[in-house]
Amino acid sequence: MRKPGIEKFKYFVGIRSLAEIATAEDRVCVLNILGNESRSVTPISHAYSGGNVVFGTSPGRRGQVLETRAGNIPVYNNVREGMDAGHKFNIGVVYLPPAAVRDGVAELIRINPDVEKVIILTEKISVHDSREIRALGQQRGVDIFGANCLGVADSWNHVRIGGALGGDKPEETLRKGSIAIYSNSGNFTTTIANYLSIGGWGTTTLISSGKDVYINYATPEFAFAMANDARTKAAVMYSEPGGYYEQEVTFEKPVVACVVGRWKANLTRAVGHAGAIAGSGDDARAKEGWFMEKFGVKDLFTPDNPVCSNKGAVVTNIAHIPQALTEVMRLNGIERDFPPEGNLELKPWFGDDQGLKLPVALNIPVVKAMSPYDEQIAELLKNVGAIFPRQTMKDCSGSSVMDPKTQVTKVNGISILDTAKQPLESNLCLSLVRELNDANDNALFNLAVAAHVNLHGDAALAAADASREAGNAPNTAISAAIALIGPKRVDGARKAADTLIELFAHSGLLKGEDEQANTTPATATPEQLATLLGKFPDALAEAMLDAFDKRGAKSVFVRHLRALGGHPTAGAVLAALTTTIAWEPLVRKRISKLTVRNLPWYARLFGVFIGSATEGARHQPDKFCGVSNEEILQSWTVTQLAYLSLMAERPTPSSLFPFQVMLGLIISNGVGTISAQGCKGAVSADGPETPERVQINKGMIGFLTHTGFAHGGNGYEGIQFLIESFAGTPLADAGAADPGLDLKKMATDFALAFNKEKKASKSLGTPVRNIPGVNHPVFKGHPVNHDPREVYIADLFAERGEKNVFHDFYRALVQALYDNGVTANVFCVNIDAIIAALLLKLLWPRYRRNELGESSMEMAAFTAFLLGRMAGCAGEIDDHINRGRNMDTRTPASECSHVS
């Protein structure tokens, strides 16, 4: 049965006064209370209104609650369950998705005969459903607000129902006063209230009407309820083109109408507000005319031409509302609600000319923001480094991304085709500080790592050797060493990094290598000094400082340590080196303070990683792989050290470059790789939300345990294939301009043999073996196929005039396979083939000298993979510590399956 409505209207309207719209007695049920928007808005509304939401619904979530500062709100599957549980309500708030709104409104008003008002927040409801919702409300005698609105609020009653008027701090904007606001725009409801309070006017009831084609609580109803509300002395209306809602209205109290959208007449399609598209008779100019006629004014109100009457004024700029209102009210003999709280002049809170000479009109100085934003800005400016929001980082990375089309991975925005041109030390830093190194950074980082490769006498080396002796693969042996480089081993260096950041954070220092910078911007406290200086000279620290000079490196922080006049610890020197590299990205908020603090740990882990990759016998008190500690400290690069550890010989420039390219190519293959998943799982299990507890060395172990003979070790398959093909040849130098081999014949012979083998396998029904390094699931299907990464590397070496007979053989092979009918088109040579060709070229002389057996070759290939991939995985570890949530890599039981 329809309830009796107000007689004045031909249709149903139940609300007599604005004071009845949002009252302290109203009790609310929220549909889809756990939806994204409601979850953030409802708790604030509930607390602001003194706890007016009695329950919410969310199908399938009965028993859950929505936590709020004013207590938990219970959740039921549907309205009936909530009412059966004894809850009573008179207002329904709808946060459902568009397709479900009509049914939600029907549920509210058919299940609960006491419903008086329904507020619909959802936007993009079809006109079809809006028609029916209007009719449903009329049929049952229910006042509906919206849809596509932001609800209602009452500044006197301290009540907000439905949407988020006033934002996350309603009390800041909803100031008690004498003005009602009715607005087609939800955002402008709040913005106008904000402008009014700056101009000295508070509010009574605020209504965001929505601006769909159907506006359920429209201007005529508002005008009627305003007349009956003793608190309200005037109203501000914000009105957009489209619809005849305002045409026939009579106001009994003064109104400032803001009509915006003359220009919209040029548009043929609505943007934002579905109903804000006008025909010929209801555009912005027509609406301005309607209001002007009601107010008896001949023109629009502007500060220069303040046309108004005691009935009202029409503005087209919301910034003019406070002044227009004040003028209109002056004609009615009514003063402001409170003294103006400022003005709406341009006030930049942030700004920078970037050294340009701007004209006066643009060069407006930055001003102190209003309270409490000024304090927040001060806090923000105090903060050093980036703060990343935490989120679930399962299968998600802020460090690496693979383009599924090209299969090329980028690490911190740099393609692996470009990292292939960088030395390992630069790629290691790129992963962590998110930028490539310059020469000074490289000098610093080479020293930081070089100081930790010789593990003579360190239990870590014994652990690695014991692991190797037990028959383990290189990943397991290195893990054993890495396990011993726990947080206690690097506490000193991390505390030193903290101290350096604290001392220099607000010094204005922009670059860590700035030679002109003040080395003592702040006086260190005794506690801070204790993190940098020891009681006695530290031999390693002194050797490092000596090497620092020999390398011609620059660092404000090293100069700071020296200026202190005591005995810097080795940890402090290490921290000074890494903090110099990280300073610029830290200041520019590219990386967090946490990353800078942990950087010495990473540097040490890289050193131990490289050191433990070679057997214990090569670590002597004063030498590593036959090279003196002094020489290593003073001149060796990380790339050279990795080469030395793997090959046990000094690299030459021509042998080092392909090695560097190979490492650079494999630093990452995206977050989906098992190695990345392993290290991220290790971080997730430690709980990155308490980053202090995350064991970075365990993260590295997670990476290492998630490599193996199939992932990382499979590089050997390519090598094995090439050895099979070349063992019987007299090849001595794989880089010779003329290796003296007929590659085409070799490839054709192989293709024919393979074809025979393939046919035999087919007739037997046994699987055909794959040729390692040939074909790719993405780069296929064309007459001639190329892996772009292979092409890039081939061009790179061609430019340098460097030959690689194994690579050439692969290219001849894919052609021969096609020419002899083995493949339907010319398959690509893939990236695995490149890695095998590069590595085998380096190992070939030792293989020829019988210094390396098959097993050693396999281990070398595996170790090379680990040395490259440690860069990408370190980046994933650091990224996950900064962004991840505790246990975020777990898979919900519902997504797991069972087999028996």
Site for other proteins in 250-269 (CB under 8 A): 260-264, 266-267, 269
Dihedral of the alpha carbons of 691, 694, 697, 700, in degrees to the nearest 10: -90
Q: Which is nearer to other proteins, 277 or 679 (CB)?
A: 277
Centroid of chain to Cα 490:
29
Give least dist CB 61 to other proteins, A. Answer: 19
Radius of gyration of the chain (CA): 36
Q: Which is nearer to other proteins, 366 or 760 (CB)?
A: 366
Question: What phi and psi values does residue 31 have, to the nearest 5 degrees?
Answer: -85, 135
Q: Which is nearer to other proteins, 298 or 357 (CB)?
A: 357
Using CB under 8 A, pick the residue from 85, 358, 522, 824 that binds other proteins. 358
The answer to whether 399 and 411 have CB atoms below 8 angstroms apart is yes
Q: Which is nearer to other proteins, 88 or 131 (CB)?
A: 131
Binding of residue 522 to other proteins (CB under 8 A): no
Q: List binders of other proteins among 860-879 (CB under 8 A).
A: none
The answer to whether 723 and 733 have CB atoms below 8 angstroms apart is no
Binding of residue 68 to other proteins (CB under 8 A): no
First-to-final CA distance of the chain: 59
The Cα–Cα gap between 507 and 501 comes to 10
Ordered DSSP codes for 401-415: EE-TTT--EEETTEE
Q: Which is nearer to other proteins, 84 or 403 (CB)?
A: 403
**In which element (H, E) is residue 105 found?**
helix 98-111
The answer to whether 874 and 428 have CB atoms below 8 angstroms apart is yes
Using CB under 8 A, pick the residue from 165, 292, 424, 501 that binds other proteins. 165
Q: Which is nearer to other proteins, 431 or 569 (CB)?
A: 431
Q: Which is nearer to other proteins, 12 or 726 (CB)?
A: 12
x-or-dash pattern for other proteins, window 198-237, by CB under 8 A?
x------------x-xxxx-x-------------------
Binding of residue 93 to other proteins (CB under 8 A): no
The Cα–Cα gap between 123 and 808 comes to 62
Give least dist CB 240 to other proteins, A. Answer: 5
Pairing type for strands 414-415 and 28-31 reads: unpaired
x-or-dash pattern for other proteins, window 563-592, by CB under 8 A?
-------------------------xxx--
Q: Which is nearer to other proteins, 421 or 590 (CB)?
A: 590
Q: Which two tokens stand for residue 21?
A: 């719209």
| Binding segment toward other proteins, per CB under 8 A, in 187-195, 661-669, 815-823, 844-852 | 187-195
Binding of residue 139 to other proteins (CB under 8 A): yes
Q: Which is nearer to other proteins, 180 or 482 (CB)?
A: 180
**In which element (H, E) is residue 657 found?**
helix 653-665
The answer to whether 202 and 176 have CB atoms below 8 angstroms apart is yes
Using CB under 8 A, pick the residue from 67, 72, 296, 370 that binds other proteins. 370
Q: Which is nearer to other proteins, 215 or 547 (CB)?
A: 215
Q: Which is nearer to other proteins, 366 or 753 (CB)?
A: 366
Q: Is 615 helix (H, G, I), strand (E, B) or coil?
A: coil
Q: Is 505 helix (H, G, I), strand (E, B) or coil?
A: coil
Give least dist CB 409 to other proteins, A. Answer: 15
Q: Which is nearer to other proteins, 354 or 690 (CB)?
A: 354
Q: Which two tokens stand for residue 327?
A: 């003028």
Q: List binders of other proteins among 585-624 (CB under 8 A).
A: 588-590
x-or-dash pattern for other proteins, window 406-445, by CB under 8 A?
-------x--------------------------------
Binding of residue 5 to other proteins (CB under 8 A): no
Binding of residue 184 to other proteins (CB under 8 A): yes
Q: Which two tokens stand for residue 778?
A: 């993405």
Binding of residue 362 to other proteins (CB under 8 A): yes
Peptide bond into 767 cis (omega under 30): no
The Cα–Cα gap between 731 and 719 comes to 15
Q: How far is CA 453 from CA 64, 99, 609, 626, in A?
A: 55, 64, 8, 13
Q: List binders of other proteins among 96-135 (CB under 8 A).
A: 97-99, 122-128, 130-132, 134-135
Binding of residue 36 to other proteins (CB under 8 A): yes
Binding of residue 47 to other proteins (CB under 8 A): no
Give least dist CB 239 to other proteins, A. Answer: 10
Sort residue 676 into left (φ over 0), alpha (ψ -120 to 50) or beta. Answer: alpha
Binding of residue 373 to other proteins (CB under 8 A): yes
- CB-CB neighbours of 519 under 10 Å: 19
Binding of residue 521 to other proteins (CB under 8 A): no
Q: Is 649 helix (H, G, I), strand (E, B) or coil?
A: coil
Ordered DSSP codes for 616-645: GGGB-SSEETTEEHHHHHHH--HHHHHHHH
Q: Which is nearer to other proteins, 2 or 762 (CB)?
A: 2
Give least dist CB 300 to other proteins, A. Answer: 13
Give least dist CB 364 to other proteins, A. Answer: 7
- CB-CB neighbours of 16 under 10 Å: 14
The answer to whether 558 and 541 have CB atoms below 8 angstroms apart is no
Using CB under 8 A, pick the residue from 234, 318, 696, 870 that binds other proteins. 318
Question: What phi and psi values does residue 646 have, to the nearest 5 degrees?
Answer: -80, -45
Q: Which is nearer to other proteins, 354 or 652 (CB)?
A: 354
Binding of residue 466 to other proteins (CB under 8 A): no
Give least dist CB 413 to other proteins, A. Answer: 5
| Binding segment toward other proteins, per CB under 8 A, in 317-325, 555-563, 600-608, 741-749 | 317-325
Q: How far is CA 467 from CA 124, 460, 484, 842, in A?
A: 63, 11, 13, 27
Q: List binders of other proteins among 270-299 (CB under 8 A).
A: 270-276, 282
Binding of residue 173 to other proteins (CB under 8 A): yes
Using CB under 8 A, pick the residue from 167, 289, 521, 616 that binds other proteins. 167
The answer to whether 670 and 401 have CB atoms below 8 angstroms apart is yes
Give least dist CB 879 to other proteins, A. Answer: 14
| Binding segment toward other proteins, per CB under 8 A, in 374-382, 541-549, 687-695, 737-745 | 374-382
Residue type for 516, please? Q
Q: Which two tokens stand for residue 317?
A: 């700029």
Residue type for 104, please? G
Size of the site for other proteins (CB under 8 A): 108
Binding of residue 893 to other proteins (CB under 8 A): no
Q: Put the strands of the sheet holding 414-415 in their side by side order.
A: 400-402, 409-411, 414-415
Q: List binders of other proteins among 337-356 (CB under 8 A).
A: 342, 344-356
Give least dist CB 30 to other proteins, A. Answer: 14
- 237-272 burial, b for 16+ CB within 10 Å, e for fewer? bbbbbbbebbbebebebbbbbbbbbeebeeeeebee
Residue type for 86, please? G
